[in-house]
Amino acid sequence: MPGTVHLHRVFTARPERVYRAFLEPDAMVQWLPPYGFTASIEGYDARPGGRFRMSFRNFGSGTTHSFGGEFLELVPHSLIRYTDEFDDPNLPGTIEVTVKITAVSCGTEVHVEQRGIPDLIPPEQCYLGWQESLEKLARLVNPDIPG
C-alpha cells in the first residue's frame, strides 16, 4: 500500500522567500536533492497545469533517477500542490505533494504532505531525505543578506 509522510519545519524567512524557493529552478537544485546528490532540471513551468522534469544523481555512484510531474495548485506565499512520477517502472504510481506555507511570529511555518509513495521506498527514507532537504532549504532562505 503506498505510503504517506508528513513534515513540519519553521523558518525565520518570510513566506515569500520560502514560496519562491519551492518554485524557482535555480533554488530547487540547491536545496531539494538530499546530501550526496546533485540535481538537474530539464523543464519547469511553475503554473497550475504546468509540468516539470528533473533528475537526481548520486554523486558517489553516478546513478541517476528522473521524475516529473504537474503543478496542480499554486496560491502565492501559502500553498503549492503538485504530483511526482518516477521514470523507473519499479516505482509506479503518482505521488501527490502538498506544501502549506503560513506566516508565524518568527517567520514561516511549513507543512509538507507526500502521499502515494511507492511501496519500494520505505517511509523512513522519505523522512530522512526530506529532513536533509529542509535543512538545506533553511540555509538558503533564512539568511537575510542585504542587496
Q: What is the pLDDT of residues 26-74, one digit of tens each?
A: 999 999 999 999 999 999 999 999 999 999 999 999 999 999 999 999 9
> Phi/psi class of residue 107: alpha, beta or left (left: φ > 0; alpha: ψ in -120 to 50)?
left
The CB density around residue 100, as the number of other CB atoms within 10 Å, is 15
Residue 16 φ then ψ, to 5°: -60, -40
DSSP designation for 33: S
Amino acid code (one letter) for 135: E
Query: Helices H, strands E: what count in the chain?
Result: 3, 7
pLDDT of residue 1: 64
140 neighbors 21 (Cβ within 8 angstroms) = yes
pTM for the full model?
0.95
The per-residue pLDDT for range 4-20, each reduced to its tens digit, is 999 999 999 999 999 99
C-alpha cell at 120: 519500494
More confident: 1 or 147 = 147
Tell me, what's the pLDDT at 87? 96
pLDDT tens string 90-142: 999 999 999 999 999 999 999 999 999 999 999 999 999 999 999 999 999 99
Task: Report the alpha-carbon distance of residue 120 to residue 63 in Å, rounded.
Answer: 17
